[in-house]
Structure 1
Amino acid sequence: MKLHSALNDVKRSRGDDRRFPGERRSTTGRFSGFDDRLVHVAPNGALSDYSYPLSGLVGIDHSRFGLELDDTLYWLDEPGDQRYVGETALVETTHEVDGHTLTQYDLTLGRLHLTHFSLSTDDERDDTDPDATLYACVAFAPEDRVSRIGQLLHGDAVEVHHDREHDFLTAATDIEVTGQIPATFSELLESEPTELPRGEDDGRYEEARLSPITLAEVELSGSDASTTVATLLADSEAGEESRTGALKRARAGAAEHATRDALLEAAQAQAETAFEGVRAATDDAETVDIADPIADLRALRLLRAPTGARIAGPEFDPFYRYSGGYGYTWFRDDAEIAGFLLAADRRAGLGLEQWHRQSAHFYTTSQLADGTWPHRVWPRNGRLAPGWAHGRVEEAADSTDYQADQTASVAAYLATYLRTVDADDEQVRKALVAALDGLDATLADDGLPERVQNAWENMTGRFTHTAATFLEAYAAIARAPIADEHRERARDRARTVYSALDDLWVADRGCYALRLDDGDLDDRLDGSTFALAAAHREFDVLERDQSDTSGTSEHAGGVGVDADRLARLVTHIETTIDGLYRDPEGPLEGVARFEDDPWRVDEQADAKIWSVTTAWGAHAAAEMGALLAAHDHEAASRFDERARELLALVEPGGQLRRDGEYLPEQFFDDGTADSATPLGWPHALRLATAAELATVEQEPASAMNSDCAPVQD
């Protein structure tokens, strides 16, 4: 999103208390793209690229389509009916134009995006064969620039370029292309937005050829009055084809997908490759069934780079006006997603073996020399990305600008991967041992992690959530197939953190504190402390396994999590869910992030509902149900029921789902979705929680705390 389009949005958003001006929202519409190009199709069919984090190429900044019927031009500015076609990433948008139906199909294949249009006429009309032309006004931003841009006209194609990035547009039918003059300084200062396309260039030919904006007139031909418009992003420094080769690929893409059937066939083939094995796996009688896994897997696949790393969500705030950006890989989000997918796969047989391997190896290649992981990286190559928590990269002593839970989340995933997927992966084993050193380096003498930044990235302190991730990571490492000396060290550390968590207990509230801050307990309820449930379940399995193999346990009398801790966990999880649960007078309900959360509330008095904390609450309740069942605790069924209630809010068709079955990050009380959409984390949480609860229904309680069968090649 460039300044011109951001200023236009500021002008359009004035007076709207549910829109933060200057953002590039994806809370409506749908995405297409399973490789390194991600294209958003707005409800009115307009296209824009969110591809930069995945490919390093920017592509389309904004666009507008129009249909000329018998010399009258109708711009497609109103929302149409939109859906995914089956389980593919093919987006269908239907427009009603003056008694005619224009159907638009959008599919992204690699760096090629295809938009097919076909026109049909209502049966009652006499002019069944209107004179029709498609208009496509497309503003590119090669290398994120709108100045120092050139247009090269190649007859039936246009090339918009800066230096390295070259963006092409062509069509399957006759096409005529002209440049568009960008908005002037005076127009940018006007109160009303500048609409495209512009008028004539007034003889300023050279300005139109030095512009990122192009206007294409495309013939709708054939019996169904159809065409396919193709855009291709190319990198001249990536060893790819020449200009001639790129033009050939763009033209071939349009010609080979000139019909709806050809586009649908390509979409189905793409989906079969992207979700290879998913259907066969879910039909396995030995696995549990998850309702509609494709809805969540598709959202997660859209966010995934070819390296296997994922962006947190599509970048909606490119100027960082209201956030610190979302189009990066956070190791917390990504490793949690990887772990939840692995858990769901082991129970439901989703066929995600390649996903697990790619995640593990991405983490090993992006690990720092001290065994930790940085704040965030570019998903396309693992290189360091801009951030504010790179304390372990900077040459600064005792920096609190480090999010230790990120390292713990990766370590827990690598340990589980090594134990359940590939015990012979030496690359992962070395990274895991180094991660153990990295965890130890930030564990204080009192058994709690040192002062660091929190999961929500808005404060520093000694957090319960960070301690929970350390407990889970140490317990998982102690169960991994690594040398005994490392397993013993991890087990000792897990027991140390387990005991130290008592220092974070707030007796008068019946909960664990948000943090310990300069010696004082911050007793606010915090949704990230839901992590305590999974951490204690992992620790419980570790201690029970130790007791089973040695005949005794040095901790808790061989019973895993002790009765007092179980009682505290029961109280804490119930208190946190109840305290953060919000049921405003509106169309939705769910769980807030933490008490008195002020972020992005605008004029709303109360904290907003978040999809990730709602899904996390469901997962924590399910984990507690399994942990309690392993101890024959009477509250197990109560937690299972609470988990199902919360899960229903984020299930496909649930209150917190939006277009494309996406889970946005946040919601205003009136139901308006806000922030990153789709957000990957809650989609993975939903899959893991659904698989856990399905297992509860299928297996006896005695099996609830045991491992599932390893993923098979």
Structure 2
Amino acid sequence: MQLRDALADYKRHAEHPTRFPGERRTTSGLFSGLGGRLVHIERDGSLRDFGYPLSGRWGIERSRFGIRPVDDDAGVVWFDDGAAQSYVGDGGLVVTEHETCYGDVTQYDLTIDDAHVTRFETSANVELVSFVHFQPDGRDTLVGQLLHGDAVEAYHADEHDFLAANPSFTHVEGRVPERFGELLSDANVELPRPLSDDRYEEGQLSGAVVTTVPFEGGEATVGTLLTDETETSRDEALERVRTLVTLGRESLAARSAEQVDGTVPDHDEAVAMRDDVRVLSLLSGSLGLRIAGPDFDPYYAYSGGYGYTWFRDDAEISTFLFESDEKLGLGLSEWHERSARAYCRTQRDDGSWPHRVWPFDGSLAPGWANARLESGDDADYQADQTGSVIAFLASYYGECDDPSLRADIESTLERALDSLDETLGDDGLPVDCQNAWENMTGRFSHTTATFLDAYAALALSDLDGELTDRAAARARDVYDAIDSLWSDERECYALRLADGELDDRYDSAALALVAAHRTYDTLHGVDDERLDRLVSHVESVFDGLWHDPSESDVKGLVRFEGDDWRMREQDTEKIWTVSTAWGANAAVELATLLAAHDDDRSAAFADEGRSLLELVLPDGPLSTDDGYLAEQFFDDGTPDSATPLGWPHALRLATLATLTDEGML
């Protein structure tokens, strides 16, 4: 997102009650891109690239499509109104239906590796008008264009972006973006801007281009390709983009089907499962690392950004996928292997993992919790990330059949165990550090849960006996220490210990204690008193965080008690899909744990889990109209923040897998 576009959005939404001005939202529309490049197709058919974190290339900053009659001088009718959208099959082929005064137009979009094809079909006697603004190397300035007859090339330095059409363009012209006076004015500038008539070179010193394309037999196709000059020659790029725009509808559908990984079995909730697998594939890079979600706030105006790999989120997703695959037979073994290799590759020498990395190469990304790379103490470090990675690698190790990778995992886990021990206090709780929500420091129930899960999973693995024995002893220490987080007054495990005092607010992240205890139960067994406390804990957190506003159908769990982040004009905490899906998962995990102890309270929690799960299923109020789980919802039903967010989609899949495996659906 370039500054011009951010300022234009700011002018449009500065007074909006639920929109944060200056963001690039994806709360409507669908994504294509199951191979690296990630392209958002808004309901009006406009395209925008979100794939830089996954591919290292920037692509389209903004775009617009429309039609105009062939036989008269009528103006362009842009596809600015919302339209019906859907996926074709399980892949990334998106269909958008446009209704115009000249007739209906159907748009097909598919991202193929680093290319994107947009095909239009209509029976109207019109021509296609397209506006595409590239940002090669993330630049809005110092950009040039080359015209190759039937293709346009926009470039800065390394990145070269190509545009072609079939049939070929009948007219092509470059356009400059908004000028300073237009940016500073109160009025919005409609794009594309008119041609400038006072500087002949301006049209070729911009990434923006306007083209007209005739319909031939009712069909017209536009294609874009993002390349790196050091990897792809100009001739190769031109040949490829010219070939791509000749693909027909059936060819696009076939290409889309080839992109699908794994197989979701026939199931009552197969649609949700397929959506989850598709979303997690969209957010994945070639190394196997995932972005948390499409980055809607690149200027950090209201957040710290989302287009990065957090090892907490990523490893939790990896664990959910691995467990779901074991229970449902999804055929995602290559995903698990890529994740394991990526974690081994990105581990620091001290055994920990950094706050955030770029998924396209695993290098350090901007962050605020890198105390272990600085001279600070562990308070500005998120120790739960290391715990989450350990839990996945320890679980996957037994299923890995590559001797070299097994050796890498073993050495990685040895260093990681040392790192985890360094951040475990003498009393059995993690030391002061940042929490999962990244807005506090202290000694958190959630961090403690990840430590318990990591130690127990490592102890249960078939690694070297000395390593597993050590992990088993640490798991017992943490298990015993959890009692110090208990609040008698609120009958729950506290959010944290801060300066020796219990901060016993309800926290949805503390629901992670349930799954951790289920892992521990296999190792040493959970005693009856702890089972009772877990039951009270889950009931108290559900009651304390439940929110059912009157002004819409949305309802679910808020993140934690007193959460005031991204509230805009709302005066209460917002509902989070992560928290609601976490609640569903915790209830089902607790039901399974209780059933293993022949506890008749199991059925009630299975019912609670199914009830919470319904809220985040495709027909539920916390799923967008497009089938994605946004991170948050306002009380009026407006989705907000990163959309789709990988974490709740993985939680939903894992919960469905457990319900299926336990015969609870």
For Structure 1 versus Structure 2, the TM-score category normalised by the shorter chain is over 0.9
Return closer, same or farther for 1:202/1:288 CA change in 2, 3 Å cut-off.
Answer: closer
* 1:242 lines up with 2:197 in the alignment: no
Counterpart CA distance in 2 for 1:241 and 1:186 is 39
State the partner residue of 2:258: 269
Structure 1 residue matching 2:245: 3-state secondary structure: helix
State the partner residue of 2:175: 180
**Alignment partner of 2:440 out of 452, 455, 459:** 459
**Alignment partner of 2:147 out of 138, 142, 153:** 153
Matched AA of 1:207: E
Alpha-carbon deviations, 1:51-81, whole Å to 9, x = none?
1001111000000111011432211111111
State the partner residue of 1:576: 541
Q: 1:220: how far off?
A: 1.2
Alpha-carbon deviations, 1:527-582, whole Å to 9, x = none?
00010001111011011xxxxxxxxxxxxxxxx11111111110001100111011
TM-score for both structures, normalised by structure 2: 0.97
TM-score for both structures, normalised by structure 1: 0.91
Matched AA of 1:691: A
State the partner residue of 1:697: 663
State the partner residue of 1:557: none
Q: 1:612: how far off?
A: 0.5
Alignment of 1:163-562 (within 5 A): 163-175=157-169, 176-222=171-217, 225-237=218-230, 240-255=231-246, 257=247, 259-270=248-259, 274-276=260-262, 278-279=263-264, 282=265, 292-394=272-374, 396-422=375-401, 424=403, 425-543=406-524, 560-562=525-527
Alpha-carbon deviations, 1:196-236, whole Å to 9, x = none?
111122142211111111111111112xx211100000011
Alpha-carbon deviations, 1:336-394, whole Å to 9, x = none?
00000111111111111111111111100000111111101011111111100011122
Q: 1:419: how far off?
A: 2.7
Q: Quick check: 1:290–1:687 contact (8 Å CA) kept in 2? A: no
Greater shift after overlay, 185-194 or 317-326?
185-194
Counterpart CA distance in 2 for 1:655 and 1:244 is 50
Counterpart CA distance in 1 for 2:253 and 2:306 is 31
Q: 1:14: how far off?
A: 2.9
Counterpart CA distance in 2 for 1:323 and 1:27 is 16
Counterpart CA distance in 2 for 1:120 and 1:584 is 46
Counterpart CA distance in 1 for 2:601 and 2:288 is 39
Return closer, same or farther for 1:624/1:523 CA change in 2, 3 Å cut-off.
Answer: same
Q: 1:421: how far off?
A: 4.3
Alpha-carbon deviations, 1:284-336, whole Å to 9, x = none?
xxx99855421111111100101111100000001000000000000000000
Q: Quick check: 2:116–2:225 contact (8 Å CA) kept in 1? A: yes
Matched AA of 1:409: S
Counterpart CA distance in 2 for 1:385 and 1:95 is 40
* 1:92 lines up with 2:81 in the alignment: no
Return closer, same or farther for 1:335/1:9 CA change in 2, 3 Å cut-off.
Answer: same
Q: Quick check: 1:180–1:213 contact (8 Å CA) kept in 2? A: yes
Structure 2 residue matching 1:105: 3-state secondary structure: strand
Counterpart CA distance in 1 for 2:393 and 2:221 is 45
Which sections of structure 1, spanning at least 5 residues, go unmatched? Answer: 122-129, 544-559, 700-713
Q: Quick check: 2:39–2:51 contact (8 Å CA) kept in 1? A: yes
Structure 2 residue matching 1:5: 3-state secondary structure: helix
Matched AA of 1:442: T
* 1:643 lines up with 2:646 in the alignment: no
Q: Quick check: 1:27–1:659 contact (8 Å CA) kept in 2? A: no
Q: Quick check: 2:545–2:559 contact (8 Å CA) kept in 1? A: yes
Matched AA of 2:286: P
State the partner residue of 2:85: 82
Q: Quick check: 2:378–2:431 contact (8 Å CA) kept in 1? A: no
Q: Quick check: 1:289–1:348 contact (8 Å CA) kept in 2? A: no
Structure 2 residue matching 1:45: 3-state secondary structure: coil
State the partner residue of 1:137: 131
Return closer, same or farther for 1:246/1:500 CA change in 2, 3 Å cut-off.
Answer: same
Counterpart CA distance in 1 for 2:166 and 2:335 is 36
**Alignment partner of 2:633 out of 661, 667, 670:** 667
Matched AA of 2:236: G
Counterpart CA distance in 2 for 1:313 and 1:336 is 14
Percentage of identical aligned residues: 52
Counterpart CA distance in 1 for 2:638 and 2:657 is 29
Structure 1 residue matching 2:371: 3-state secondary structure: coil
State the partner residue of 1:59: 59
Matched AA of 1:197: P
Return closer, same or farther for 1:290/1:217 CA change in 2, 3 Å cut-off.
Answer: closer
Let me know the Cα RMSD of the aligned residues. 1.4
Q: 1:639: how far off?
A: 0.7
Q: Quick check: 1:288–1:691 contact (8 Å CA) kept in 2? A: no
Counterpart CA distance in 2 for 1:264 and 1:352 is 22
Matched AA of 2:31: F
Alignment of 1:651-662 (within 5 A): 651-662=617-628
Counterpart CA distance in 2 for 1:423 and 1:571 is 44
* 1:613 lines up with 2:579 in the alignment: yes
Return closer, same or farther for 1:215/1:34 CA change in 2, 3 Å cut-off.
Answer: same
Counterpart CA distance in 2 for 1:292 and 1:455 is 26
Counterpart CA distance in 2 for 1:58 and 1:83 is 25
Alpha-carbon deviations, 1:19-60, whole Å to 9, x = none?
000000000000000111000000000000001001111000
State the partner residue of 1:552: none
The total of aligned residue pairs comes to 658
Greater shift after overlay, 180-189 or 423-432?
423-432
